[in-house]
Structure 1
Amino acid sequence: SSNEHKLNFKKSKEACLSYIQDALLQKQWKRAAEFLTCYVESLEKDYSREHIGPSEMIWRIGSEILWHHSQNSMKEFNCFMEQMKTLGVKRYLKVCLEHVFHLLCNGQIDEAYQNLSLAESWRFGEQTAIQDKEMKLIQAYRGLLDYCSWSKQKNILLEQSEDGFSDLAVEREMHGYFRKAAVNLKEIIKIPGVWDIFVKCYVDLLEFYGDHNEARQVLNEYAYNSKFPANPNAHVYLYQFLKRQGESKKSLISALKILHDIVPSHELMIDFNTMLQQSKKRKKRRLGLEVIFAALDYAGWKENAKAWSCLARQVKQVVISEKHLDWIKQEWNSRKDWWPAFHFSRYLAKRNWQENKNLSYEKALVAGILLGKGCKYFKYVSHQGCKAQLKRFQMLKKFVNRHNPVYLRIS
């Protein structure tokens, strides 16, 4: 009967999809392709009986298989994508974008640009809000490729100027790419979202032509507009721009303060700490200590010699002056239960000594002050240093022994 047929079809379709999923998870691309072929054939046979719109599923599964299949060629992928574009009007622009990404990954930049231009000229009925955003993305990626072309022409022009001559045709072509890129890049970054690559390229264009005010406005908007999602890179780009412009330390510190609040483990925290320590204001120097302690809470910083050097220098300054020992105590109180095992074990002392003596020196100084002269890390490193008759390790041992009472005051 008709109902029985529908039920059997539904079961076989679900079973086939299950096999495809299993093959995808096991990265068996050939097997997945065979099951997908069966799935598509079964749909074609039954399409007259019940309208099923599985085009998005076929598109997503098919493109994933073709992307990984070792026997796949670009010709097959392009053919598949062109078929997918005709299956669903609502998904046309999405499929175009994915096709473009694949072409770019395979170094086919001209073909990608051609596809973006065709997609940009595509129209079908009234454009929905979603399609409007997708069209802006199409235009933005075209702008990105125009930027790449501009960058190539710029490099040619710079090379020529070094040799003492310039080509007006190259210059005109470069300006043409600039105008096209700027228009499309400017549009996409008005929409709240994460547009890092587009912002960077647009700012590069503006800076090259000396429009620093517009560049500053773009970066401030990207970093501080509450409609945009919190994005650490927005503050990184603003900081880098301000630094290039030779802005005051106050401006640089302000940009990095927000970055610290979002990502306390960011690599720029070394710069932030250095600027804070150079300040005459006690509040900023206090924040500097907090910043470097917070960075060293993260595993990625465990063997960062610069970070340990910053902390060692600050701890040493506090200990010698005997002012602000409460700063160290406040930071140490929340870490004394886990930092010893995390940073100052005998195993780490041995490994650090073998791999990086500068790192082991800085860490040993910090360990000796925070945990006293009985600390395993300090004892091992200072012993090895004295045994090797390295003068600074002998001085390190004397310094920690002389200031051992500090450990008692902060512990």
Structure 2
Amino acid sequence: MSTVRIKEKLETEEKVDVDYSDLHPKIKMKDFYQNGHLKLLLPPEKLKALEEGLKHEKGTFCYSKGYLQEELKIESADRWIIRQEVAPNQYEFIIPYKQLNDEGQTKTVLLGTGASAKVKLMQSTTGKLHIAKVEHIKPDDKNPEKRSLEINYFFINEAPFLKKLGRSQGHLIPKKRARSEKNKPIARLRITDQFAPGEELFKILKESNEEPYSRVLSPYYRFEIFLKLCDRVEELHKMDGTGWIHRDIKPANIICFIDPKTGAVTVTLVDFGFVKKLPPSGVIQDVYQGTVNYAAPEVRRKRASSYSMASDIFAMGLTAQFLFRFLGNGISNVEKWSNNEAGQVLYLLDNMKHKKPKRRESVGFWKNKALELRETYFNRIGLQRKISQKELSPKEQPTLKKR
């Protein structure tokens, strides 16, 4: 729900029942409210000043604070803002989401740092949450110019695909700096994406598997996450006839959100820097790209790597192995796999990770296998506990602890 909708609820004296901490641990309600009233992201006078000062500017840019103040004579409390074209000659402002710390100072929210980008939480003037991926080069990189070119390639590849998905305007956003700032490091490129609620599957599983009684990810949710992941990858593989492939599926690129009120699971694929449209042959010959620990054998070749839907399936198999690991041990004797179920799990994992691409089958095939396994598993547990599968739904299952 956007802050605009919350404002409408407040104005009509409705109860505000949205807690932004449900969407991400770093989002706090105090960032939105002051003395019981919704804080405006951009006060009307500031928004008007920005619109007036930038009316002659064309295109989508990120503006530094120095550029706004020195070049355009616009006062700004933000280190940078994005002015994004949403239609011909129509723009929206996206600025960093800021939090108040205990000393009353504001700070931006860093959601994560990857190999090529920092991910910042953003918000538009309409209240909608976004993220901005900011080109990031590690300080110890021996060839920053070459690395910058590589990252630019990832961004150029990802931005239009996000637009195709309807998650972004598809802009590759350069930064404008004041003349006095020219001696600073290279102004990094940015792209925007829709904010995906939740956390990385990698982080959720790491904490769940190591701390089984404080942050348990229950059997129900492990199945739900895998099935939802199948849906997201299947959508990708069916796009535009011949399909697209992600080429970097791994737990760190899967965002999961479990609604604490309804138990509904949302899974979002992120990081499309390596995404490619498949030709009619269904195979792409290319240099190796992706994450070596999740790469299929045909991708790890010394010469040309061979990419197909099967290489995505291989990465999904490794992700499923990580996802079902704790479930295989069980949180009680009853919840351990039976011999029959263990055989089904091994069949699923071994064949999704088969060394021969043709043996890996399609996403839909593995989704059906997981549905069969889930039915077998929950029916057996339900009979042994003398309760129905419906009672083994999210209401009973342990969920992620609140922070």
Verify same fold: TM over 0.5: no
The answer to which structure, 1 or 2, has the higher relative contact order (CA under 8 A, 6+ apart) is 2
Higher Rg of the two aligned structures: 1
More helix as a share of residues: 1
| TM-score, normalised with respect to structure 2 | 0.25
